[in-house]
Amino acid sequence: MSDNFEGEKPAGQDHSGAVVEPASMRGRRGAPFSLILVTLVIAVGALVLGGYQFLSPEPSVQSEAPRQDSSEQVDDELDDLFGGPVNLKELIDKVQASTVTIFCNDSQGSGWVVDLGLSDEVTDQSDIALDQEFPYEVITNHHVIEDCVDTPRKVEAQAGTEVFDAYLFSWDKKNDLALVAISQSVPPLEVSNKPQPGWWAMAVGTPYGLEGSVSVGNVMNTDGDEVISTTPLNSGNSGGPLVNTYGEVIGTNTYVYVGDDAQDWNVAVGVPALCRKLLDCSDHATFSWD
């Protein structure tokens, strides 16, 4: 009997004595070796490719977050001004360091330091000499220094135990403002944009001789150059700064409106009033609220 046959062969032994199973039975128990080998190659290849794809995925394309234009950034900053500062202690320290107590004879008030830079328009030799002797500027109220108008060197400025040499440089009685020059360097404050109703606000000054006192409220509204706030003011706060949540000066604390129906009407003279007479603001665009 030939070994080359087609079809099934009954189970039993071939002429060599080896056990022979029918093809149908082999198909049920296992595939031929070549088929198994091919199957393994395909499976391993798929596993390798799949593993490679898993371990080394194609770099994903990340879309960039849309950038805010300048107007959106400004809106965000304005929104922040309605809430209190992120670090109140840090803000208080900053503003206190730039606030001084002003004395004129028996009058006592407050003042805040501003950096006006050097003016090229000063040509009078006496004014140049004064600028060199007193190169730093403090804003206060006219009613705080009015008794020293005829004796400008009698004005004194003080911070803590340090007394500064001072000079009453100029004043504006109508807007109740004055510029006092001092010899010692004190960190200046920046000025604010026009405030909006609801802005957080803080006053720093020396009410009743208590230097560095702090009171907090919010801007109620503006009326011309005046800023009306709920921030409590008392005698001695005059001339001190009213600042926003960034420590920028909104105005100079000036008076409290007292009336039968008025409540918490505390008034600061807004920054633009400095430009009416006291200062030449041609080089200080930020002083304008236009």
Based on the residue annotation, tell me whether 143 is a catalytic residue of this protein: yes
98, 142, 143, 172: which is the annotated catalytic residue? Answer: 143
Residue 275 CB contacts under 8 Å (≥ 6 apart), including other chains = 281, 284, 287, 288
Based on the residue annotation, tell me whether 170 is a catalytic residue of this protein: no
213, 215, 229, 238: which is the annotated catalytic residue? Answer: 238
98, 110, 176, 213: which is the annotated catalytic residue? Answer: 176
- Is 99 in contact with 158 (CB distance < 8 Å)? no
Two tokens, residue 8:
């099934």
- Is 100 in contact with 110 (CB distance < 8 Å)? yes
**Token match 């003016």: residue?**
119
Based on the residue annotation, tell me whether 176 is a catalytic residue of this protein: yes
Enzyme catalytic residues: 143, 176, 238
